[in-house]
Amino acid sequence: ARALGAALLGPNCMGFFVPGGPAAWNGQPQDTTAPGRVAVLCQSGSIADASTHVMEVYDGDQLVQTFPISAGSPDNPSYNGAHVVTEMNRDRIMDSSTYGVPVDSPEGYRTPVEYAVRISDSGEFVHAAPWSVAQQGRENVSHGCINMSTDRAAWFFNFSQPGDVVEIKNSA
């Protein structure tokens, strides 16, 4: 289905084989000898490419924004693969102790961020990172999150909805 979605339907569409076709969706009797149908689901989503330092944002199959980003550093890479928007916080404290790195250690941090869009249960977010604007579009310096400028993160926050897909690729 994923290959069908990317190749035929657009980067944020997926095709699903549904035996019996549309009748299977509304409780009507099915003709099990009839060929199956493909249901199509398109939604908003994004592709964050850690090697090009660019995130493309789609509304269905239409590209609506392209943003420079900074993804996870080589020491703290972002996880490749499909991620799903599950939570959105206008303001959030990022705290390294939530994944086992004490705040007072050399790699520790407790940092307030704006426009935090959670994309995984392992602590990955798309969020504003004004401290890394000079690296966005050039270098991956985050602890695994997708960093953007504040205005771009605000746009992404206002555009996103729970269930949207954020695909991260080419991370170290």
Just list the catalytic residues.
127, 145
Token output for 15: 């095709």
The C-alpha atoms of residue 77 and residue 172 are separated, in whole angstroms, by 6
DSSP 24-90: GGTT----TTSPPEEEEEE--EEEEETTTTEEEEEETTEEEEEEE-B-B-TTSPPPPEEEE--EEEE
